[in-house]
Structure 1
Amino acid sequence: MGKLTAQSPGLHKTLGLPQIVSLYVGAVIGSGVLLIPGLAAEKAGPASILAWLLMSILVVPMAITMGLLSARFPSAGGVSTFVRTAYGDRFGNMVGWFFLLSVPMGAPILSVTGANYLAVLMKWGETQTYATAALILIAVLSMNVLGMQVAARVQTIVVSLIITILILAVVAALPHASTANFVPFVPSGWLSVIQTAGLLFWCFIGWEAVTHLSEEFVDPAKNAVRGVMWSAGIVALLYFSVAFMTVATHSYGSGISAASLSVMIQLSLGPIGGWIVAVTALFICIAAANAYVGAASRIAYSLAQENVAPRWFGVLHAKYRTPVGGLLFLALCFVVVLSVLYFGWVDLAKLIEIPNASFIATYIGGCLAGVRLLRDSKVGRIASWTSLIFTVGLYPFLGWSALYPVVIVGISLMWERRKKIATTKAA
Structure 2
Amino acid sequence: MKNSTSHTSGLAKTLSLPHIVALYIGAVIGSGVLLIPGMAAEMAGPASVLAWLFMAILVLPMAITMGLLSARHPSSGGVSTYVRMAFGDRYGNMVGWFFLLSVPIGAPIVAVTASHYVAVLLQWSQLQVYLAAGLILGSVVLMNVFGLKVASRVQTVVVSLIVAILVIAVLAALPHASASHFTPFAPNGWLSVVQVAGLLFWCFIGWEAVTHLSEEFVDPEKNAVRGVLWSACIVALLYFAVALMTVATHSYGEGRSEASLSVMVQLSFGPIGGWIVSVTALFICVAAANAYISAASRIAYALAQEGTAPRWFGRLHSKYGTPVGGLLFLSICFFIVLFVLAMGWIDLARLIQFPNATFFATYIGGCLAGVRLLKNSRYGRIAAWTSLIVTGGLYPFLGWSALYPLVIAGVLLIWENWQRKAS
Task: Return the TM-score normalized by structure 1.
Answer: 0.97
Structure 1 residue 37, shift from structure 2 partner: 0.2
Q: Percent identity?
A: 74
Residue 408 (structure 1) aligns with = 408
- Contact in 2 for aligned 1:112/1:129 (Cα 8 Å): yes
Residue 269 (structure 1) aligns with = 269
Alignment partner of 2:415: what SS? Answer: helix
Structure 1 CA distance, aligned partners of 2:330 and 2:417? 24
Residue 76 (structure 2) aligns with = 76
Q: How many residues align?
A: 417
Seen in structure 2, the aligned counterparts of structure 1 residues 284 and 129 have a Cα distance that, compared at 3 Å, is same
Structure 1 residue 63, shift from structure 2 partner: 0.2
Alignment partner of 2:254: what SS? Answer: coil
List per-residue Cα deviations over 1:306-352 (Å, max 9, x = no partner): 00000000000001000000000000000000000000000111000
Residue 243 (structure 1) aligns with = 243
Structure 1 residue 416, shift from structure 2 partner: 1.9
Structure 2 CA distance, aligned partners of 1:69 and 1:415? 29
Residue 332 (structure 1) aligns with = 332
Structure 1 CA distance, aligned partners of 2:385 and 2:307? 31
Structure 1 residue 9, shift from structure 2 partner: 4.6
Residue 321 (structure 2) aligns with = 321
Structure 2 CA distance, aligned partners of 1:415 and 1:278? 44
Query: Is 2:217 the counterpart of 1:222?
Result: no
Over the aligned positions, Cα root-mean-square deviation in angstroms equals 1.0
> Structure 1, unaligned stretches of length 5 or more?
1-6
Structure 1 CA distance, aligned partners of 2:68 and 2:93? 21
List per-residue Cα deviations over 1:362-412 (Å, max 9, x = no partner): 000000000000000000000000000000000000000001001110222
Residue 4 (structure 2) aligns with = none
- Contact in 2 for aligned 1:246/1:261 (Cα 8 Å): yes
Residue 258 (structure 2) aligns with = 258
Structure 1 residue 259, shift from structure 2 partner: 0.3
Structure 2 CA distance, aligned partners of 1:341 and 1:75? 34
1:189-204 equivalent positions in 2, closer than 5 A: 189-204=189-204
Residue 3 (structure 1) aligns with = none
1:116-135 equivalent positions in 2, closer than 5 A: 116-135=116-135
Structure 1 residue 239, shift from structure 2 partner: 0.2
Residue 179 (structure 2) aligns with = 179
Structure 1 residue 418, shift from structure 2 partner: 3.4
Alignment partner of 2:308: what SS? Answer: coil
Seen in structure 2, the aligned counterparts of structure 1 residues 9 and 101 have a Cα distance that, compared at 3 Å, is closer
Structure 1 CA distance, aligned partners of 2:148 and 2:315? 16
Residue 169 (structure 1) aligns with = 169
Task: Return the TM-score normalized by structure 2.
Answer: 0.98
- Contact in 2 for aligned 1:98/1:358 (Cα 8 Å): yes
1:24-39 equivalent positions in 2, closer than 5 A: 24-39=24-39
Structure 2 CA distance, aligned partners of 1:127 and 1:213? 34
Residue 346 (structure 1) aligns with = 346
Alignment partner of 2:116: what SS? Answer: helix
1:367-406 equivalent positions in 2, closer than 5 A: 367-406=367-406
Structure 2 CA distance, aligned partners of 1:158 and 1:76? 24
Structure 1 residue 10, shift from structure 2 partner: 1.9
- Contact in 2 for aligned 1:8/1:316 (Cα 8 Å): no
**4+ runs deviating over 3 angstroms:** none
**Aligned partner letter, 1:166:** L
**Aligned partner letter, 1:293:** I
**Aligned partner letter, 2:114:** G
Structure 1 residue 415, shift from structure 2 partner: 2.8
Alignment partner of 1:316: what SS? Answer: coil
- Contact in 2 for aligned 1:64/1:229 (Cα 8 Å): yes
Structure 2 CA distance, aligned partners of 1:121 and 1:416? 50
Seen in structure 2, the aligned counterparts of structure 1 residues 56 and 275 have a Cα distance that, compared at 3 Å, is same
- Contact in 2 for aligned 1:308/1:415 (Cα 8 Å): no
Residue 99 (structure 2) aligns with = 99
- Contact in 2 for aligned 1:145/1:324 (Cα 8 Å): yes
Query: Is 2:308 the counterpart of 1:308?
Result: yes
**Aligned partner letter, 1:54:** F
Structure 2 CA distance, aligned partners of 1:359 and 1:173? 34
Alignment partner of 1:317: what SS? Answer: coil
